[in-house]
Amino acid sequence: MSEAILRLEDIALRRSGGLVLSDISLELYRDEMLTLLGPNGSGKSTLLHVIGLLRRPNHGTIYFHGQPVPWDGDLLSLRRRMATVFQQPLLLDTTVAGNVALGLRLRGVSNAEAQPRVGSWLDRLGIASLAGRSARQLSGGEAQRVSLARALVIEPEVLLLDEPFKELDTPTREALVEELKGVLQETRTTTVFVTHDRTEALRLSDRVAVLHNGHLLQTGTTEEVFNRPASHEVAAFVGVETILPGRIIAAQDGVATVEVADGRALAVASELPAGMRVLVCIRPEDVTLYADGAAGSTSAQSSARNRFPGRITQVQQRGSLYSILVDCGFPLAALVTKQSLVELNLVPGRQVEASFKATAAHVIQRGS
């Protein structure tokens, strides 16, 4: 990790008596995409406002490049190094181009200098044809593109996104998430992204911070948080799927071969081309375990494309079922009944074979 742009230390915020945020310590590193993930009402938007220096916390310190933020001093020059996109586009009553130019005009950038920059961002987000249109005449997707362009044209050191896709319909959202991801990777913009949607978090983040009831439950890389939830609350929210980062090394007839670890490749149903970086998600209930040796006799008749020998590293009870973690050169979780647990003698250290179908794996594109 490179240098921390922002560091939050022991942040607490009270509103009408109750604590909205407490004990928040968090770092934001240069060039990373950090996602604040949490259910509605977990305080993640409020935390984003604090990070954007728009709300003063009741307790704690924020360091911007190592310097404590001067809440009573020159806050504006720090705030001007960031930009926020909110859930609603919140456009002003002027043209599309006028809206996109707003941040530059507030910073005293001359019209002559602002115009080409505005034009290039309108172009990049595919809204150049709307430049002269009144901002009141846009569809939801168009308006949110304008709002994104308005933030990006500032070329902020930190971009803050407060669930910007929440109010869009699914196809519009899908298109915009992909485009935004491309833009952010290309510009290497440091981003804090607030969402309650775990798939969006998987697609857009390097690191995830899980927030619940104003507390930070876990912070770590996306794979860490999703594969090794630190607590029941985190697991309940992020789900208990196995999530493996990998790269597609071959793709044919709707089946992609994804290398997830040295010499370990999975066959998954996907139309994505070779070379793509992806996350492979496998639900534990789709993974079948065989006692070592038994698998050889059944493999000929099975339609499961993926079979890996491995060693059980952990057994955990989840309600009436058991979650078995198998080390196959990569971690893989399986969910079994008590009966299977006893019959196959599934205990830590035991050799087993794990298998799942190519269609059971869900592939999320990360980039190329």
> Would you tell me which residues interact with other proteins (CB under 8 A)?
49, 52, 54, 76, 79-80, 82-84, 86, 88, 90, 92-93, 102-103, 106-107, 134, 136-137, 150-151, 154, 160
Q: Give Cα 14 to chain centroid, integer Å.
A: 27
Calculated CA dihedral for residues 164, 167, 172, 173, nearest 10 degrees: 50
Shortest distance in whole angstroms from residue 178 CB to other proteins: 25
Q: Which long-range contacts (CB under 8 A, 24 or more apart) does 115-123 make?
A: 117/153, 118/149, 118/153, 121/149, 121/152, 121/153, 122/96, 122/97, 122/149
CB neighbourhood size of 184 (10 A): 19
In 3D space, the residue among 199, 221, 364, 345 whose CA is nearest the CA of residue 279 turns out to be 364
Q: Which is nearer to other proteins, 17 or 349 (CB)?
A: 17
- For 65: left if phi > 0, alpha if psi spans -120 to 50, otherwise beta; the answer is left
Shortest distance in whole angstroms from residue 38 CB to other proteins: 19
Q: Which is nearer to other proteins, 93 or 253 (CB)?
A: 93
Q: Which is nearer to other proteins, 141 or 156 (CB)?
A: 156
Shortest distance in whole angstroms from residue 146 CB to other proteins: 12
Shortest distance in whole angstroms from residue 80 CB to other proteins: 4
Beta carbons of 264 and 315 less than 8 angstroms apart: no
Q: Which is nearer to other proteins, 1 or 90 (CB)?
A: 90
Beta carbons of 25 and 12 less than 8 angstroms apart: no
Shortest distance in whole angstroms from residue 223 CB to other proteins: 31
Shortest distance in whole angstroms from residue 175 CB to other proteins: 23
CA distance 200 to 197: 5
Beta carbons of 141 and 171 less than 8 angstroms apart: no
Q: Which is nearer to other proteins, 38 or 89 (CB)?
A: 89
Q: Which is nearer to other proteins, 84 or 190 (CB)?
A: 84
* Pairing state between β 277-282 and 190-195: unpaired
Q: Which is nearer to other proteins, 102 or 248 (CB)?
A: 102
Shortest distance in whole angstroms from residue 10 CB to other proteins: 24
Q: Which is nearer to other proteins, 76 or 300 (CB)?
A: 76
Q: Angle at Cα 226 formed by Cα 223 and Cα 227, nearest 5°?
A: 75
In 3D space, the residue among 222, 351, 220 whose CA is nearest the CA of residue 278 turns out to be 222
Shortest distance in whole angstroms from residue 131 CB to other proteins: 16
CA distance 349 to 347: 6
